[in-house]
Amino acid sequence: MPARNTVLVAILTMLFVTVSFPTFHFARHHSVWHFSPDSARAQVEALQAIQAETEEFEEETMADPFEPINRAFFQFNDKLYFWLLKPIGKVIRIYVPEGIRIGVHNAFYNTEAPLRVLTNLLQGKFKAGGSEVLSFAINSTIGLGGFFKPAQKEFHLGQYPEDVGQTLGFYGIGPGFFMVLPILGPTSLRDGLGKVGNFYLIPYYYFSPSYLLDYGLYTLKEINYISMHIGEYEGFKKAAIDPYISMRSAFYQYREAAIRR
């Protein structure tokens, strides 16, 4: 337990230093989209949480003190998805071969290895952290920058997605309250703060020479993701009596299951 407390203090210190960067650096990188996945992506993950075989949670325990505001932002994000993001994703799906889109997704995932390595190690998951290091080395070389995944297909190495929010949860920090952010979608106080830490551990954002390139990379990553998952959010919404409540519950279960994994 003392060791856990020491690591927890280190994590909180890292977050404090992160959000206390000099103003000129903060102004360049403090874009709201760094705090959470966009609406479509987060809501697709919520659908996957319902469908996945995860632990059963008897009731949702995350507070929602700003529900009226959250519902308004949920409606905004819903319209944004159907009126803008989905049409763009459909065009990309038609004109860009699936193999290329999968390769682009793989490449982005590969460059996020430092985040997964560090957060696995901070949770004492040394085998998982070592596997992520080996996967990064193999996929970055033989896999041509991560476009292909020989570490998984040929060497059968596992993938262990972890992030700062999950690490904070591992050390007993609760989700706080639920939020829906415009454009970005569902998150919690803990995971919103965690996303700040995530951002500084993802090389293609941190070492980007300009904020325009930051936005370009983020847009490419998310639109490419949407193009591969069109129809999932629609199915989720159609199956829900109240899509907002279903999204909130699914998001909570998804994140809690990820922390206990």
Q: What is the spatial distance between Cα 143 and Cα 17, in angstroms, rounded to a whole number?
A: 35
40-49, 143-152, 188-197, 214-223: lowest mean pLDDT where?
Answer: 40-49
Over range 59-78, report the average pLDDT. 90
Residues 6+ apart with CB under 8 A from 42: 36, 184, 185, 186, 187, 251
Percent of the residues in the chain that have a pLDDT greater than 90, as a whole number: 64
- pLDDT of 205 reads 73
Task: Answer yes or no: is pLDDT of 22 > 60.
Answer: no
Q: What is the pLDDT of residue 141?
A: 97
> Is residue 255 pLDDT above 80, yes or no?
yes
Predicted confidence at residue 88, as pLDDT, reads 96
Over 70: is that where the pLDDT of 221 sits?
A: yes
| Model confidence at 251: pLDDT above 90 | yes
Please write the tens of the pLDDT for every residue from 189-204.
999 999 888 988 888 7
Nearest-angstrom CA–CA distance, 112 and 128: 15
164: nearest Cα among 5, 15, 6, 1: 15
Instruction: Note the pLDDT of residue 175.
Output: 94
- Between residues 158 and 21, the one the model is more confident about: 158
pLDDT digits (tens, 9 = 90+) for 95-141: 999 999 999 999 999 999 999 999 999 999 999 999 999 999 999 99
Helix, strand and coil content of the chain, in percent to the nearest 5, comes to: 70, 5, 30
Instruction: Map out the domains of the chain as residue ranges.
Output: 2-15+39-52+93-260
pLDDT at 239 over 70: yes
